[in-house]
Amino acid sequence: MRKIIIAMAVCAGVVANGEICLAQEAAPQGLKIGGFVNSLYDTNMTRETSSFSMDQAELDISRETSASGFLLNLNYLGGQAATTDEVVEQGYVWLALGQSARLAMGKFNAPIGFESVDPVDMYQISHAMVYSYGLPTNLTGLKFSMTASALDLVLYVVNGWDQLVDDNKDKTFGARAGFNISRSFVLGLSVIAGAEGRDTIAESLESQALVKVKTNNLMVIDLDFTATPAEATTIGGEFNFGTFSKQSAVKQGDDASWLAFMLLLNQKLSSKFALTARYDYFNDNDGARLGGGIKESRHAATLCADYLAAEGFRILGEFKYTMSSKKVFTDGSGKPTDAEMSLAAEALYSF
């Protein structure tokens, strides 16, 4: 019994340091475990609604050697039906190609844009509109990455935007180049393009014969930067331009295009407290991205306070104001309005 108790104590110590313990044996070399849990209180002041929620819980398991490795992110999204695509946020294996390059296959976070997928890597609670409407979140396919001096390069071929299984015969291609201009300035340029949409068969109005409906080309060019002019100051930005052929909701048959950008300032006021201000803009000129099906543009201003309450434990509070060129929101009585305000509080623990 004494040996069992000692073994359990050793295991507990190993797990606390972010590694897996298997019985009395040491963990395999390079095997790591981590993750996070975050809970939210969100209130929409315009619609007069509020709610507590267990927002996300994620378990991250990975192993790295000099030659190969894998990454698995198991994710639970509170209040949503659990599908395979949501439960497994990332899952891929990789093979080293020399000392500075890797070839990976599986599902991975899209290597594009400024903001991260997970809350532990964000400066505020909510994502900007560029992230929500102008970019894919996860991609499934083949990815090549390498680092050479001041350049980070990623090339990939995937099923499509957030497509766990391809729904057409075409593939989507993308690339990202990160330029370390200096120790305080990093520039990233990303391009993703491919045919998106399900292959279908329809009847031709002219010949009355069955013909294949072609998928539509979707392309995005995204430019992001991160500047750290002082140790406690971070400035970030992103510019996003996209086109989607024949997907205009304003004029049937026309191509859709959009333009968006985001600017962010994060200032650490102490070792435990920081403030973030963000402004973002999205011009949905053809009504294909924001969901309203109309020509619309939106502005959003966000202010967030971040407090490190204990090791691994952050508390965030956020105010967000969004204004549209159209009355696409509703107030508490159901009347349309062109603006909405929200408040949110987040408790986040990472390990």
- How do residues 4-33 score in pLDDT, each as one tens digit? 333 334 333 433 444 434 333 445 667 999
The verdict on residue 2 lying in a domain is no
Q: How many CA atoms lie within 13 A of 177 on its CB side?
A: 9
Helix intervals (H) in the chain: 2-16, 84-87, 129-134
Give the per-residue pLDDT at 197: 82
Q: Which amino acid is at 28?
A: P
For 132, the domain range is 37-350
Q: How many domains does the chain have?
A: 1
The three-point CA angle 87-93-94 to 5° equals 145
CATH number at residue 234: 2.40.160.10
Token pair of 45, please? 């002041």
The three-point CA angle 148-95-168 to 5° equals 100
Give the per-residue pLDDT at 206: 52
The verdict on residue 333 lying in a domain is yes
Q: Do residues 313 and 272 lie in contact, with contact meaning Cβ atoms separated by under 8 Å? A: no
The verdict on residue 30 lying in a domain is no
Distances (CA, A) of 36 to 118, 125, 339: 9, 14, 33
The verdict on residue 29 lying in a domain is no
Name residues of the chain where pLDDT drops below 50. Answer: 1-26, 203-205, 211
The verdict on residue 115 lying in a domain is yes
Phi, psi for residue 72 in degrees, rounded to 5: -135, 120
What span, in angstroms and rounded, lies between the C-alpha atoms of 138 and 296? 26
The verdict on residue 11 lying in a domain is no
The verdict on residue 212 lying in a domain is yes
Q: Which residues contact 310 (CB under 8 A, 6 or more apart)?
A: none
Give the per-residue pLDDT at 29: 67
The verdict on residue 7 lying in a domain is no
In the three-class reduction of DSSP (H, G, I as helix; E, B as strand; rest coil), residue 303 is classed as strand
Sign of the Cα torsion 15, 17, 21, 25 reads negative
What span, in angstroms and rounded, lies between the C-alpha atoms of 125 and 118? 10
Phi, psi for residue 149 in degrees, rounded to 5: 55, -115
Q: What is the pTM of this model?
A: 0.86
**Phi/psi-derived region of residue 79, left when phi > 0, alpha when psi is between -120 and 50, beta in every other case:** left
